[in-house]
Structure 1
Amino acid sequence: MTATEAFFERLTVAGQDPRFSKVRGSVRFDIRDGDRLEQWLLAIDHGQMRVTRSAEPATTVIRVSARVADAMARGEVNGVAAIARGEIMVDGDLGLALRIGRLFSREPRLAQRRGVDSGT
């Protein structure tokens, strides 16, 4: 299981996040790994979260490489910084995309503790 798959599995198991009690919308993650495209849809309804593998339309679409998605899921890459570097493209509600960043791990990456840059 990839870090990205584990991330979505955690959201599925949790089913709810009180930090999103005033949020309603959907985010589709288009994750590209070479020629392969994996799509995950996160539907949020006042804190209730539902995750499916789906290509259906969403309020916000986040396009990202599998490498960056896995790094974000492991807490190694900051989403806002990745957007600024052009590693993540957002279509739709940017505010919702930024809020989604709260779902990713905030653990400092091992490379940072060692003073080494991973290049991401």
Structure 2
Amino acid sequence: MSATDAFFEQLSRIGQDPRFRKVQGSVRFDIRDHDQVRQWLLTIDHGQIRVSPGGGAATSVLTLSSEVAEAMVRGEMNGLSAMLRGEILVDGDLGLALRMGRLFHTPAIARGTRQPSGAEVTE
């Protein structure tokens, strides 16, 4: 299992993230690995995050290589910088796509634990 797949599976267990309490929409990650595309669909409803493997309609679609995805999951690459370099292509709601960077800097996901529900959150 790739680090990216493990990241999305762990994200699906967290469920509620107060940093997204004002967010409603869906984001599909199209992760290209040579001739194959793996897709992950995140549906966000005021902080409640549902993750499902596979495609579907989305408010925002991020297309990136598996190498970029792996580097982001490991904390070695910043998503905004990757967008500016053209390593991540965004189709749809750019604001929602930019908010996804918060997911990749979540120590709770890296450790496999939830963030405390009363944690201080900045928007």
**Unaligned stretches of 5+ residues in structure 2:** 108-123
**Unaligned stretches of 5+ residues in structure 1:** 108-120
Letter in 2 for 1:83: M
Aligned pairs (5 A) from 1:24-43: 24-43=24-43
Letter in 1 for 2:6: A
**Relative contact order, CA 8 A, sep 6+: which one is greater?**
2
Letter in 1 for 2:75: G
Superposition misfits of 4+ residues, deviation over 3 angstroms: none
User: How far apart, in 1, do the equivalents of 2:106 and 2:59 lie?
Assistant: 25
Number of aligned residues: 107
User: How far apart, in 1, do the equivalents of 2:21 and 2:84 lie?
Assistant: 28
Report the equivalent of 1:102: 102
1:105 Cα deviation (Å)?
Answer: 2.7
Q: Does 1:46 align with 2:46?
A: yes
Cα shift readout 1:7-63 (whole Å, capped 9, x = no counterpart):
101211101100000100000000000001101000000000000012111000000
User: How far apart, in 2, do the equivalents of 1:106 and 1:56 lie?
Assistant: 25
CA RMSD of aligned residues (A): 1.2
1:84 Cα deviation (Å)?
Answer: 0.6
User: How far apart, in 1, do the equivalents of 2:78 and 2:60 lie?
Assistant: 18
1:6 Cα deviation (Å)?
Answer: 1.5
Report the equivalent of 2:6: 6
Report the equivalent of 1:112: none
Report the equivalent of 2:118: none
